């Protein structure tokens, strides 16, 4: 994962000088999942998003690379990746609309499409999307919302909700709360705690767990708060 991420970061000077370049953000994360019954797994993830604007319209590309690095059980530790494409339209200085397609190679592969919106106004940032999957197996619809509020120039409170509905096969929910702290104009560290729940109906039952996510975000040029923050694997 590290070699691929270094290669991508090395292309940023070229991206930043490309015609229409709007912004780029890199995000590095350490994640620890605990199901509460003894199973734990640690992962590293790297995210890179870059956007270009042409008048009121634009495009954004996102890449995520991940690797499980440790587990309490004797399992095969996985490497995974995901890719996202957004087409965007600015309604105003505060409101951006988008259409998104995304795919990753988790499990048998998950491919989705969604309509999305991003609203920013001073210290407030709200993002949401609603969509469906493109596959023929394990069909589901989903929605998610993320919000943050900045208290002054450094501290930010964060919250998120993700929900996927598999119909008769059950549902999946994630609720998260977190804090971010800016170390400077271009660097922010953050910590999120999320609760995951998989409900597979009365036959299989429900499973839940907690995820601690520690990260650092780097603004690599432009206004990163204007970028969508969809993460395909979460």
Exposed/middle/buried for residue 70 (C-beta within 10 Å: 0-12, 13-18, 19+): exposed
Tell whether 72 is covered by a domain.
yes
CA angle 67/135/33 to nearest 5° reads 30
State residue 139's pLDDT score. 78
Domain total of the chain: 1
Tell whether 234 is covered by a domain.
no
Strands 206-222 and 79-90: unpaired
The tokens of 99 are what?
A: 């259409």
CATH number of residue 148's parent domain: 2.40.160.40
74 vs 35: which has the higher pLDDT: 35
pLDDT in tens, 164-201: 888 877 888 999 999 999 999 999 999 999 998 888 76
Tell whether 231 is covered by a domain.
no
Mean pLDDT of 71-92: 89
Give the confidence band of 101 by pLDDT, cuts at 50, 70, 90. Answer: very high
Range of the structural domain that residue 155 is part of = 2-226
Q: What's the predicted TM-score (pTM) here? A: 0.86
Q: Which of 176, 161, 228, 202 is nearest to 33 (CA)?
A: 176
pLDDT in tens, 126-141: 999 999 988 656 678 8
Tell whether 233 is covered by a domain.
no
Tell whether 94 is covered by a domain.
yes
pLDDT in tens, 102-133: 988 876 678 899 999 999 999 999 999 999 98
pLDDT of 13 over the 60 cut:
no
Residues 174, 196 contacting (CB under 8 angstroms): yes
Tell whether 89 is covered by a domain.
yes
């Amino acid at each position: 994962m590290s070699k691929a991420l270094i290669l991508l970061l090395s292309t940023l000077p070229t991206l930043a000088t490309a015609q229409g370049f709007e912004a780029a953000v890199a995000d590095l994360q350490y994640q620890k999942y605990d199901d509460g019954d003894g199973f734990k797994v640690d992962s590293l993830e790297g995210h890179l998003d870059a956007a270009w604007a042409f008048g009121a319209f634009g495009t954004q590309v996102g890449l995520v690379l991940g690797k499980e690095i440790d587990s309490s059980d004797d399992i095969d530790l996985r490497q995974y990746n995901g890719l996202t494409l957004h087409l965007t339209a600015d309604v105003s200085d505060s409101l951006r609309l988008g259409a998104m397609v995304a795919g990753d190679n988790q499990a048998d592969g998950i491919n989705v499409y969604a309509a999305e919106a991003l609203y920013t106004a001073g210290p407030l940032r709200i993002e949401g999307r609603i969509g469906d999957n493109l596959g023929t197996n394990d069909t589901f619809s989903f929605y998610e919302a993320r919000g943050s509020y900045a208290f002054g120039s450094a501290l930010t409170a964060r919250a998120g909700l993700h929900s996927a509905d598999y119909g008769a096969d059950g549902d999946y929910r994630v609720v998260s709360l977190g804090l971010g702290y800016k170390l400077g104009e271009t660097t922010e560290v953050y910590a999120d705690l999320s609760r995951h729940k998989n409900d597979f109906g009365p036959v299989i039952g429900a499973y839940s767990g907690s995820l601690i996510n520690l990260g650092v975000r780097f603004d690599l040029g432009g206004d990163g708060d204007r970028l969508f923050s969809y993460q395909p694997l979460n």
